[in-house]
Amino acid sequence: MAERDSGVVFERDAFFELSGDLLGVAGLDGFFKRVNPAWTDILGWTTVEICATPWLDFVHPDDRAAAVAAGETLRQGGPVVRFTNRYRHRDGTYRWLEWHSVSSLTHGLIYAIARDVTARRETDEALVELTESLATTLHSIGDGVIATDAAGAVLRMNPVAEQITGWALRDCVGRPLGEVFRIIHAGTRRSAENPVDRVLREGVSSALANDVWLLRPDGTEVPIADSCSPIRDARGTLRGAVLVIRDTSEELRAMAARERVQRRLEVAERMASVGTLAAGIAHEINNPLAYVTANLELVREEIRALSGGSTSGRMKELDDTVRDAQEGAERVRKIVRGLKTFSRTEEECLGVVDIHGVLEVSINMAFNEIRHRARLVKDYGPVPTVIADDARLGQVFINLLVNAAQALPIGEVEHHEIRVVTATDAEGRAVIEVRDTGPGIPSAVIDRIFEPFFTTKPVGVGTGLGLSICHNIITGMGGTIDVTSVVGCGATFRVTLPPTQSASMGDELAGLPSATTPAPVPRRAAVLVVDDEPAVGVMLGRVLRQHEVTTVTRAADAVRLLEEGRRFDVILSDLMMPAISGMDLYDELARRFPEAAERMVFLTGGAFTPAARAFLDRVSNERVDKPFTPDSVRSIVEQFVR
């Protein structure tokens, strides 16, 4: 019997010594009576040191209150299971221990087993931190994220996904993704394959095709883009899928806006190109038009001279024929003048402007758009002159007239009217109104009518820039532009401009010759004509036949004549010529023959280049616009020989 008891004790002691867990027997006095070697292996203390120190001294200060409460439970005979606290290592660090303890009140002892769970605790804490970090990331990213299990059922989704899909997480957890994520092709309206199905079927990443829309529970549709990837465990087993979705509504709107801006910029570039082309055409037309109109006037002068005042049918018929040709040439001149005026792209050029004159040119330019849609009524009242840029002011009037016309249907001229009204308001300002009898402007959009790129016209008809540009032009001149409209009763655009100051007008009038001052009789003058169009020189020779006229077609020939000692009372020079222009000729004469340079008069068919406009701003010499009348040229020459 004694031998058997001895064997039991040996086995018990062997298990005690060999256990990898911390085994200990403590008294109710707070000291360990016996501990196994694992204490030294795990905590570094010797068995003697552990048994000589109250066990509470090893406990982390933050855990002592809980440890005292657990000890009290054991003193009362109760067990303590899965109790964790931190014990101090000999090096000063702490290890997490998980305790299972019972007490024997009969023997006054506590039997305890502790396991080092430090690594597990650190892993658990890291997992908690990782989980919290992932949750924070999931909630903060801008895309929607939906995770599914291997069967395609929803496990979780972030708030962005809730917002995009229209589903709350609590309502869709456990549902098949196909019920939550219903998608269709925008063009065909047919159902699109769910990318998660493909990922779970093939185990590869997938993405949606273009033009796919998500159907929300409330019936609204959202354009989306997505990507989907498989979720695998450490062994590579497919455990589910994660779907990342993005609402592309703003992207599509931004893309559409960029396309609209691009189209409008292309239109603006084409308009600028057309303006430059129109200016060049105007210049080329004005050269032959100059000698056509002047020669027609000379023909009429000759007819009147030959008839000797007779009103015979034959001579009158000839005179009427030439007059009709003159009227046709005048119509061409007005068209060309409009091209010259409204194709200008230079810096603003302010001057005293006659409103009615600009309106007439604008009406001529816009009339082809008007005549098939409405009657044009001119209701002109007296208006003051204004300080403005005639080209930009004409641009405003043309825009308003064309807009009025385009608001009316083609072919119903007898039913519609465009009325142009001018007046002076109580403050002395010039008032110009363009009224139409069209459908009017809805009140919902009338406040936006002057916004850039806003238009009520169909796609391809308007750029949405015209009225915005008009507003900038008029306000830049110190005026106002506004609109009133009643749906079904047309619209009225009203422009007001401040009048020219009377002092400025007085200064201009002061410079004019007195009507009672008799003009001196001109003497015969020496005139040099420099123009690359030979017909212009021939025509000017006829117009100025009472003077001595020399014509050349090259600026170099004019310089040669001056070098030979020829002197001229006036030099009529074309502004734009090949090789050496009239501007180059002026600079050459200013350097070598300054007196001759002062006597230059420029004939211009349109200063459409920046260099030409800058030159005319720089020099103060007289200039005559082509086409011109014989009397205007004679008057210029007479100024130099009186």
pLDDT at position 494 is 93
CA 223, distance to chain mean position in Å, is: 23
pTM metric for this prediction: 0.40
What six digits make up the tokens of 522?
């001109």
State the amino acid at position 119 in one-letter form: A
pLDDT at position 607 is 54
What six digits make up the tokens of 321?
């024929």
What six digits make up the tokens of 511?
């410079």
pLDDT at position 505 is 42
Average pLDDT over residues 252-273: 70
Q: What CA dihedral angle connects 465, 470, 476 and 479, to 10 degrees? A: -150
| Per-residue pLDDT band at 64 (split at 50, 70, 90) | very high
Residue found under tokens 């249907």? 409
Which of 64-78 are b and which e, b meaning 16 or more Cβ less than 10 Å from the residue's Cβ?
A: eeebeebbeebeeee
Q: Residue 601: is its pLDDT beyond 70?
A: yes
Q: Which of residues 209 and 213 earns the better pLDDT score? A: 213
Edge-to-edge strand ranges of the sheet holding 94-104: 32-35, 22-27, 109-116, 94-104, 80-88
| Per-residue pLDDT band at 59 (split at 50, 70, 90) | very high
Q: Which helix (H) or strand (E) holds 321?
A: helix 313-342
Average pLDDT over residues 47-52: 92
Q: Residue 574: is its pLDDT beyond 70?
A: yes
What six digits make up the tokens of 267?
């239109």
Q: Per-residue pLDDT tens for 397-448?
A: 988 998 899 889 988 888 899 999 999 999 999 999 999 998 888 887 777 7
C-alpha–C-alpha distance, residues 143 and 165, integer Å = 12
Q: Are 572 and 251 in contact (CB under 8 A)?
A: no
Q: Per-residue pLDDT tens for 354-389?
A: 999 889 888 887 888 888 899 999 999 999 999 988
C-alpha–C-alpha distance, residues 202 and 196, integer Å = 10
C-alpha–C-alpha distance, residues 226 and 130, integer Å = 25
Helices then strands (H, E): number in the chain?
22, 24
pLDDT at position 300 is 78
**What does R_g of the chain's alpha carbons equal in angstroms?**
50
Average pLDDT over residues 93-113: 92
Q: Are 444 and 416 in contact (CB under 8 A)?
A: no
Mean pLDDT, the chain, integer: 81
Q: Which of residues 505 and 195 earns the better pLDDT score? A: 195
Q: Residue 392: is its pLDDT beyond 60?
A: yes
In this structure, of 194-203, 338-347, 489-498, the range with the lowest mean pLDDT score is 338-347
C-alpha–C-alpha distance, residues 366 and 331, integer Å = 14
Q: In a 10 Å sphere around its CB, with 0-12 CB exposed, 13-18 middle and 19+ buried, how is residue 569 labelled?
A: middle
| Per-residue pLDDT band at 269 (split at 50, 70, 90) | low
Cα–Cα nearest to 350, from 557, 500, 164: 500
Cα–Cα nearest to 83, from 68, 104, 61: 68
| Per-residue pLDDT band at 508 (split at 50, 70, 90) | very low
Phi, psi of 423 (to 5 degrees): -165, 175
pLDDT at position 345 is 47
State the amino acid at position 614 in one-letter form: A
| Per-residue pLDDT band at 134 (split at 50, 70, 90) | low
Q: Per-residue pLDDT tens for 155-180?
A: 888 888 888 888 888 888 888 988 88
> What domains are defined for the chain?
2-122 (3.30.450.20), 141-247 (3.30.450.20), 348-505 (3.30.565.10), 521-641 (3.40.50.2300)
Q: Residue 275: is its pLDDT beyond 80?
A: no
pLDDT at position 229 is 87
Edge-to-edge strand ranges of the sheet holding 491-497: 375-380, 417-424, 430-436, 491-497, 480-485
Q: Per-residue pLDDT tens for 511-539?
A: 434 333 444 545 788 999 998 888 888 88
Average pLDDT over residues 313-335: 73
Q: Are 591 and 563 in contact (CB under 8 A)?
A: no
Q: Residue 459: is its pLDDT beyond 50?
A: no
State the amino acid at position 268 in one-letter form: A
| Per-residue pLDDT band at 8 (split at 50, 70, 90) | low
Q: Are 231 and 238 in contact (CB under 8 A)?
A: yes
| Per-residue pLDDT band at 509 (split at 50, 70, 90) | very low
C-alpha–C-alpha distance, residues 344 and 351, integer Å = 15
C-alpha–C-alpha distance, residues 497 and 526, integer Å = 47
pLDDT at position 512 is 38
Q: Which helix (H) or strand (E) holds 119?
A: helix 118-140
CA dist list (Å): 307 to 294, 327, 601: 20, 22, 35
pLDDT at position 428 is 93
Q: Is the bond preceding 452 in cis, omega lying within 30 degrees of 0?
A: no
What six digits make up the tokens of 513?
């010759």
pLDDT at position 518 is 44
| Per-residue pLDDT band at 469 (split at 50, 70, 90) | confident
pLDDT at position 463 is 45
Report the range out of 87-101, 314-328, 564-578 with the highest average pLDDT.
87-101
C-alpha–C-alpha distance, residues 249 and 256, integer Å = 11
Q: pLDDT over 90 for what percent of the chain?
A: 28
Q: Residue 272: is its pLDDT beyond 70?
A: no
| Per-residue pLDDT band at 480 (split at 50, 70, 90) | very high
pLDDT at position 131 is 56
C-alpha angle with apex 623: 618 to 624, nearest 5 degrees?
155
In this structure, of 102-111, 236-245, 622-631, the range with the lowest mean pLDDT score is 622-631
